[in-house]
Chain A
Amino acid sequence: MSDFEVEVRITPRPGLLDPQGNAVANALRSLDFPGIGEVSVGRLVRLRLRAQSADAAREQTDRMCRKLLANPVIEDFDILVRPDRPDRPDRPVGS
């Protein structure tokens, strides 16, 4: 078994109204940032997972997404799996 750090990126499905994305886009334009196109606001779920292999971790996370983490009616998701590093700088305090 190995420890993995998994990140799930959940984003509104393209074509669906994304009021948060639109609000952020408007705010950026009003701050005079040039060239602002479409903006989309989603969610990041980071978890540590013990699994047989990176493939197994990915497969299990995919099932988590379909069952709970994302709603396929309104959201897309993608999964990033990497080995967990005990010394990673962004490790939450107390873990």
Chain B
Amino acid sequence: MRVAVVTFPGSNCDYDCYKAAQDVLQADSYYVWHREHDLGAAGAPDLVILPGGFSYGDYLRAGAIARFSPIMREVMDFAAAGGLVLGICNGFQVLCEAGLLPGALVRNASLQFRGEGVYMRVENATTAFTSAYAPRQVLRVPIAHGEGNYVADEATLARLEDEGRVVFRYVDAAGEASAEGNPNGSMRNIAGIMNEQGNVLGLMPHPERAIEQLLGSTDGRGVFESIAASLAGVR
């Protein structure tokens, strides 16, 4: 299995993603610099990860400039052909700016950068990214962002809910999608969504930072295990 981790100027979670893919997926991970025009010399990868960080210093809006990097044209073609794309934190912001996912991520309601552990609930355990989890399983994962407040118009939100595309929702310790459990003000406590075809997932929390006990949690492993299972099924 080959996993391409795209590095933008200002990405800072690229190694975490590289390592998670290597350790959990036993994948051949490699970096792709944002100026590149293809996703790997050996042909299309099995998975593309857009990592966290502050691409282009978050100038203008988070993800707004990265979205026009040359490699994004390849990522969009890869996604259109059904390839699995995982956008984490800044990667989620880039996917929204690129129009691969609906809505936008704005300044946290608290105006504070939030770097802490949160709970999120698996709202749809039948996706390529979540099949290793139980339905409504509550995960402990870290967040680290200042602009993770998910917004979309009512019609988009209704559609996301109806189609099971709200994949993760912030919850409190009791597993309820309450205001206390919401770290950034996201509408409907949304932490992660996927596209209509189910092959592009974006989420603000960092599953790649929760893959071994040393990091405080192993709850993020399931995302990578699900991807492995999904890819094994394809083959």
For window 64-93 of A, CB contacts with B under 8 Å fall at 68-69, 71, 73-74
For window 1-40 of A, CB contacts with B under 8 Å fall at 12, 16-17, 19-20, 23
- Most chain A CB atoms below 10 A, which of B60, B68, B106, B149: B106
Are A68 and B64 in contact, with the CB atoms below 8 A?
yes
The number of chain B residues touching the other chain, given as a range, is 20 to 34
Are B185 and A16 in contact, with the CB atoms below 8 A?
no
- Interface contacts (Cβ under 8 Å), in number, total 38
**Is the contact region of chain B dominated by helix, strand, or loop, or is it mixed?**
loop
Are A17 and B149 in contact, with the CB atoms below 8 A?
yes
Are B104 and A73 in contact, with the CB atoms below 8 A?
yes
Binds A, one of B107-115, B168-176, B194-202, B210-218: B107-115
Residue from the list B110, B111, B151 in contact with A16, Cβ < 8 A: B151
Are B109 and A74 in contact, with the CB atoms below 8 A?
no
Residue from the list A19, A20, A69, A73 in contact with B103, Cβ < 8 A: A73
Are B111 and A17 in contact, with the CB atoms below 8 A?
no
Are A73 and B151 in contact, with the CB atoms below 8 A?
yes
Question: In the complex the two chains form, what is the Cα distance from A54 to B103 in whole Å?
Answer: 33
Q: Which residue of B lies closest to A67 (CB)?
A: B68
Residue from the list A17, A20, A68 in contact with B151, Cβ < 8 A: A17
For window 9-64 of B, CB contacts with A under 8 Å fall at 60-61, 64
Q: Which residue of A lies closest to B184 (CB)?
A: A19
CB distance from A12 to the nearest CB of B (A): 8
Are B151 and A74 in contact, with the CB atoms below 8 A?
yes
22 contacts across the A-B interface (CB closer than 8 A): A12-B106, A16-B106, A17-B106, A17-B149, A17-B151, A17-B185, A19-B108, A19-B149, A20-B107, A20-B111, A68-B60, A68-B65, A71-B61, A71-B64, A71-B97, A71-B104, A73-B96, A73-B102, A73-B103, A73-B104, A73-B152, A74-B106
Tell me the A residues contacting B by CB distance below 8 Å: 12, 16-17, 19-20, 23, 68-69, 71, 73-74
